[in-house]
Chains A and B, each alone.
Chain A
């Protein structure tokens, strides 16, 4: 048998090898000085590491978990339901569909007031194109800068 490698030696020392394999290693170690020394080193380190013990008493959380669980159970029995925010209760597909419909409707309304000759008269000024007024917005200097580039001539804006 070849020498035992470090990985196998770790498994052997930790006692996690299947019994048949462990027996095979035991026989090899008995007859091989090099592996016997490496085994001794590995076992010493394993035992030394075992000196670090941790005592979790005083930090138990099971009672807390049990209390939370009991509370949740009694809430369920009492028929109390969790309050879910309104928007979360609407499925995502419906939310997306609603957003698309709103966008199309908004675009349609803008187009209607921007192009249709049958648009009802609404008060406007040269500074405030009528589709802005028709949408119920107040004209502002910021809007002026936004719209200014799109205005071809004063005549088109104010026929």
Chain B
């Protein structure tokens, strides 16, 4: 049972959801709360390599996803179908993480005591 699962499901630019969700994940992990992260739907774009948020005056939070292991967040799950539907593969992403079929992502969310969606 995971204490908190944070679900990313929006694109990384156009709103600050991804950045503020990531802040929450890192803070939660630093408080030693058992924290998992899921990327589903448009949220998989949060992890795509080679983005340049600074051009649109945004903080580059995408690079900060690389800090998840430092915070000992090892439950990182990426939805396989969401990647496929968008023509993406795990090689396109800034982190190496487990891809899971949608049904298993659902299971992870069900097994979490708390879920916050961004």
- The answer to whether A binds B is no
Chain B residues at the A interface, C-beta cutoff of 8 Å: none
